[in-house]
Structure 1
Amino acid sequence: MPVSAPEPAALVPQGAAFFPVKTPGPTRRYAFVLVPGFTLLAFSSAVEPLRIANQLSQQPLYQWRLLSEGGVAVASSSGISVCTDGPLGPQPRDTRVFVCSGNPARAAAAPSVVALLQRHARFGGTVGGICTGAVALAEAGLLDQAPFTLHWENQPAFCEDFPELSPCATMFEIAPKVMTCGGGAASTDMMIALIEQDHGAEFAAMVSEMCLRKVMVGVDAGQRSALSVLIRSRNPGLIAMVARMKAHLEDPLPLAELARVSGYSRRHVERMFLSVLGETPGDYYRGLRLDHGRNLLSTTDMPLIEVALACGFSTVAHFSRSFRARFGMAPTKFSRAKARRPQA
C-alpha cells in the first residue's frame, strides 16, 4: 500500500534511567491525525509514553508521525499550533492510526479523516480515537462491533448524534482493531496498557513510574469521580436516589418513586437533601436536567424543543424559564453566544 510521505526516523533520546528490553521485535508505528481544536493534553499524553519507552530501552520500540489535512500546522484547543509531518493519506497496515480531537467534537468527522479511517480499517489496520476521536470512528461506521469511549463531557451529544451506539464510562477501551480513550490522563493509561501488551508488565510499570503514575489505572476505572465524592456523602440511600435521577433526565421520576428506591419516607428524603446538598429534591433534580440541557446546547445543534424534551420539560416555555433562572440568560441567547465563539 502506498504511503503519503516518508516516515520520520524513530526518536531514541538519552536519559538517566534505563530498562532493557531483550526481545523488542520490530518497531511499532503510530500515526496521529490532528484535527482542528484537538486537546493538547490528550495528544501529548499519548505520545510521551512512547517516547519514554524508547528512552528507557534505548531502542526504537515505537515510531510516530503526525498527519493533518493538507499537512499544515493545526491549532489545538489551547491555541497552540503543532506542526505535522505530512498530509492525510494511506498508511501501512501495521500502523495504528489515532484521531486526536477535542471541541468542537464534530470536527473529527471531516470527510477526509473519515475516509482515511475507513480505508485503513478495510485493509486490516488498527484505528483509534483520543478524547472525541470516537466521533470520527462512529461516522466511519467502525464502532458497531467494539466497546468504545470518549470524553464524558461529549457523551450526551454523541448519544444524540448516534443513538444506536452506547459509549462506555471507562477511561479507555482496547479492542483488537479499535482503541479509544477519554483523553487527558486516560491517553497515558491507554498507551501504558498497549506497552504492557507489547513488552510486558515490568517494562510498562517502569514507563508508568517515569510518567509519575505510581498506579496504572485499569480499563474498568470510570472517567469520573465516584458519585459519593461528587455529592460529599456516603449515604447509600442518597447515592441511589441521585444515581436514579441521573438515569432519568428525559423522563423525570416523582419524588415518591425516588423515596421508594432509597427506603426512606418522603419527609426524610426532603430533610436529607436539604442537610447534605442544600436543596430540595425537586430543585436538585431540576438542576441536573438543566445542566444536561446546557451541555446539549453547547455541543449540538439540536432544536430547542428537542433539547427541552431531552431534559424532561414538556414545553420550550417551561424549559426557558427554568434555564434563565439557573444560568442568568435565555437558552436562545446562550445558543447565539456559542455560535459567536471562534472555533479552532
Structure 2
Amino acid sequence: MSHPIAPLHSETRQPIRFGIVLLPNFTLTAFSGFVDLLRLASDDGDMSRPVRCSWTIVAESLAPIRASCGIQVTPWTTFDETGTFDYLLVVGGLLHSGPSASEATHRFIRAAAASGATLVGICTGAFALARAGVMDGYRICVSWFHYWDFVERFPAIPESNLIADRLFVIDRARITCSGGRASIDVAAAILLRHLDAAIVQKAQRILIVDDAQRGNAPQPYPPGLDPASHPKVRRAILIMEQHIANPLSLTELARRVDTSVRQLERLFVAETGKSPNVYGRQMRVRMAAWMLTGSDRTVADIAMSCGFSDASHLGREFRKEFDASPGAYRTTRPHALDSAMCEA
C-alpha cells in the first residue's frame, strides 16, 4: 500500500544526504531537474552551497557516464569509497542502447537498502531497482511507454503492483518516478519531508515550475489519445510520432510493440475507431497543419518533414482531412504565434 510523504520537521540540523547513481544512457532532464531543485533549496542567496542538502554522484569507477543526449558526467567517488546516504537516487534512461546497470551497481543498491536508505528510481531507474531485487512487495511507477518492457523483464512482479498512469509512486522506503520533468516533483515531495514548504516553493519558482504535482497526477499522453487506452496502442502512437518523417511499416510497428499485425490492428480499431495506417496518416496530416500555421516553411518542406513523398502527396491527403489545400488552409487560418498573442 502506498503511503503519502508527511513532513518530518521544518529544518534538519545535518544536510539531507543524497547519493546519485547514473545508469548508462541516463536521461539528462530527469537528473538535472532533481539536482537543481536540491541545489536551490539547499541554500539562500543564490549561493548553491550544500547546506540543507548534500549530493554525491557515485559509480563503480570514475569513468565518465554518457547521457542519452551525449553529454558525459564524471562520478565524484566510487562505491567502495563513499559513505551512507538518506536517499539513493538511481537515474535511468534508454533501455535498448547499450549495457544496463552492472552487478556492482546492483550490489551497491542492495547495500544502500540494507543501510536504511530510501531508494528512488527515476525513469528506467526502477528497472535497476527491480533487477537488484529490492522492489518485492512494493508498488512501482513506470512510464506507460516502458510498461510492457517491464512486464517482460520481470514476470515475477505482479502487474497489479505496476502503476503506469501516475507521475510517481511513494511506497514506504521506495519512490519510483516515470521520469522527465516529474523528477522535480519527486525532489519537492522528498524535501517537503525535511524543509519548510516556503523553501521548497521558492526553489520551484526559481525554476519557473508551478507548485509540485502530486504523485496521483496523471502521466501525459499523446494528443487525442484517451489515457485509459491500451498500453500497446499508446506506445505504438508514440513510436509513430517519433518516426513521423519516415513512417514505419505496419509490420515493423507491430514488432516494436511486441505484437502481431493482426492484433495491433484489432487493438487500434477497438481503442481509436481507426486502423493504424489511417490513424498514422491523420497524425501526419495534423502535424502538417500545425506546421503550416506555426512556421513559414514551404509546403514541400513540410511534406517531407511529415512523411509525404512530395507537396502533391500532402495536398491530396490534406484535402481529404480539411477539404482545403495546404495553401488555402495557411491563408485562412491565423498564424499560431499571432493567435497565441491575441489570446494573451
- TM-score, normalised to structure 2, is 0.61
> 2: CA distance between counterparts of 1:151 and 1:56?
34
Contact 1:108/1:132 (CA < 8 Å) preserved in 2? no
Give runs of aligned pairs for residues 1-344 of structure 1, distance below 5 A: 23-56=11-44, 60-89=51-80, 91-104=82-95, 107-163=99-155, 164-166=157-159, 167-168=162-163, 169-225=165-221, 229-231=223-225, 243=228, 246=230, 293-296=254-257, 307-308=259-260, 311=263
RMSD: 3.5
Q: Which residues of structure 2 form unaligned runs of 5+?
A: 1-8, 234-247, 267-274, 281-344
Task: Name the SS for the 1:112 alignment partner.
Answer: helix
- CA positional deviation for 1:186: 0.6
Task: Name the SS for the 2:135 alignment partner.
Answer: coil
- CA positional deviation for 1:200: 3.0
- CA positional deviation for 1:42: 0.7
Task: Name the SS for the 1:230 alignment partner.
Answer: coil
Q: Which residues of structure 1 form unaligned runs of 5+?
A: 1-20, 232-238, 250-286, 297-305, 315-321, 328-344
Contact 1:34/1:68 (CA < 8 Å) preserved in 2? yes
Q: CA 1:309/1:157 → structure 2, altered by over 3 Å: closer, same or farther?
A: farther
Contact 1:71/1:86 (CA < 8 Å) preserved in 2? yes
- CA positional deviation for 1:121: 1.1
> 2: CA distance between counterparts of 1:213 and 1:31?
24
Q: CA 1:66/1:309 → structure 2, altered by over 3 Å: closer, same or farther?
A: same
Aligned residues: 242
- CA positional deviation for 1:22: 7.3
Identity of aligned residues (%): 24
Residues 215-265 of structure 1: per-residue CA shift (max 9 Å, x gap): 32111011124x8x524xxxxxxx5xx94x62697xxxxxxxxxxxxxxxx
- CA positional deviation for 1:27: 0.7
- CA positional deviation for 1:54: 1.7
Contact 2:27/2:67 (CA < 8 Å) preserved in 1? yes
- CA positional deviation for 1:85: 0.4
> 1: CA distance between counterparts of 2:279 and 2:208?
40
> 2: CA distance between counterparts of 1:34 and 1:161?
20
Q: CA 1:204/1:290 → structure 2, altered by over 3 Å: closer, same or farther?
A: farther
> 2: CA distance between counterparts of 1:325 and 1:45?
38
Q: CA 1:294/1:218 → structure 2, altered by over 3 Å: closer, same or farther?
A: farther
Report the residue type matching 1:97 in the other structure. L
- CA positional deviation for 1:160: 1.4
